[in-house]
Amino acid sequence: MYEDARKAYAEYGIDTEQAIERLKTIPISLHCWQGDDVLGFEKKSQALSGGIQTTGNYPGRARNSKELMQDLDVAISEIGGTKRLNLHASYAITKEEVERDELEPRHFAAWVEYARQQHLGLDFNPTFFSHPMVKDNLTLSSPNEEVRSYWIRHGQCCRRIASSFAKELGGHSLCNVWIPDGYKDVPSDRLGPRMRLKESLDAIFFERLEGVIDSVESKVFGIGLESFTVGSNEFYNAYASHHPGVFQLLDNGHFHPTEMVSEKLSALLCFAKYVPLHVTRPVRWDSDHVVLLDDELKEIAKEIVRNDAIERVLIGLDFFDASINRIAAWIIGTRNMQKALLFALLQPSLEMRKLQDTAQFTKLMALNEEIKMLDLGSVYDEFCRREHVDVGMKWFDRIQDYERTTLFKR
């Protein structure tokens, strides 16, 4: 079947061998928080807060670092290609209780060793939610100086931790700042919170650190924060444009329903060295559903590939579904991201660009539609075979066995 697909693509001037080899090298950062419903390992029991929520009570949630790493092992073994791991600060592995503004690289030494064993790069996120020092749904924009200072220190120490990841493992570590700050009802002062956020970010990013790629992530709203979000798209876009070395991260669930991140990528690529990306699937709101191979995912992947931006768009996943098997969610979402990238790699992009530039729009439409019908599945199956991971639905049987023998016994 692969040989037939290879010949069919070749008729359009597309080299499937080249596409498979390129797909192997594209890193995708898996998010640790899918495995435990974003609860983390802090000993103080804190309900998930900050305008986000996880729904469902499927059995088998990872309850500690050992179980989370064990589950990640299973997921990673069924995902080919280059992978990274994205951590939140709340996943520090400590014997004693450590305040978030006192975290150090040593508190993540076990994760570094895990990443080394699995040949993963590590990305990082300060955790500005689910904590007693989030006062009135505010952190870096709080009018309370004690609160604001606490979270500034947290952001600063997290950047140092990210730098240590880069030093220990080589390459870079993306350190992404997202805060929940906002108001449920219409505020009387919008400028004040944003000026405080600007000053807080300046303090966090002041120190130059090797190996860190800094980013800021906007959002339209959160549950209980419907009327005003301090860190909006416009704010972070302006902040990043005035601060070299800080980049705006795009989460495709953090915009209005009619806005598409696929359309925004080329705009930022005109100006930014890097465009960090969180891939999720919003359903009516930023609901963080498992990524499917839908039209928007394909468009995002096409923008990355046809704009020669594979090294510049830093792909991470961000979804958390507690209503299904959490390991299966990792595998399905990551494989779908890979399938979308492969779909993009198997496009005659140069020919399509030429047709657009010469106003041959009828032929462009016809070519676009014909390419959709070629056998992407057989090429992806060949990629899986070469990466020594299960083809098709074979991986699901293994996950069900692991579910019976391990997850259901937790």
Catalytic residue among 36, 181, 217, 403: 217
Domain boundaries, the chain: 26-347
In order along its 410 residues, the chain shows pLDDT tens digits of 999 999 999 999 999 999 999 999 999 999 999 999 999 999 765 677 877 888 899 999 999 999 999 999 999 999 999 999 999 999 999 989 999 999 999 999 999 999 999 999 999 999 999 999 999 999 999 999 999 999 999 999 999 999 999 999 999 999 999 999 999 999 999 999 999 999 999 999 999 999 999 999 999 998 889 999 999 999 999 999 999 999 999 999 999 999 999 999 999 999 999 999 999 999 988 899 999 999 999 999 999 999 999 999 999 999 999 999 999 999 999 999 999 999 999 999 999 999 999 999 999 999 999 999 999 999 999 999 999 999 999 999 999 999 999 999 99
* pLDDT value for 393: 94
185 is catalytic: no
250 pairs with which residues across the strands? 277
189 is catalytic: no
Catalytic residue among 42, 296, 318, 321: 318
Residues in the chain: 410
Catalytic residue among 219, 264, 302, 339: 219
98 CB-side CA count, 13 A: 20
288 is catalytic: yes
- Say which CATH topology domain 26-347 has: TIM Barrel (3.20.20)
Cα dihedral 282→287→293→296 (10° resolution): 10
370 is catalytic: no
**Beta strand 275-279 pairing with 121-125:** unpaired
178 is catalytic: yes
Mean pLDDT, rounded, of the chain: 96
Q: Considering the entire predicted model, what is its pTM?
A: 0.95
Catalytic residue among 33, 178, 330, 395: 178
* pLDDT value for 122: 98
Total Cβ atoms within 10 A of residue 145: 9
* pLDDT value for 45: 57
302 is catalytic: no
294 is catalytic: no
Catalytic residue among 88, 254, 264, 339: 254
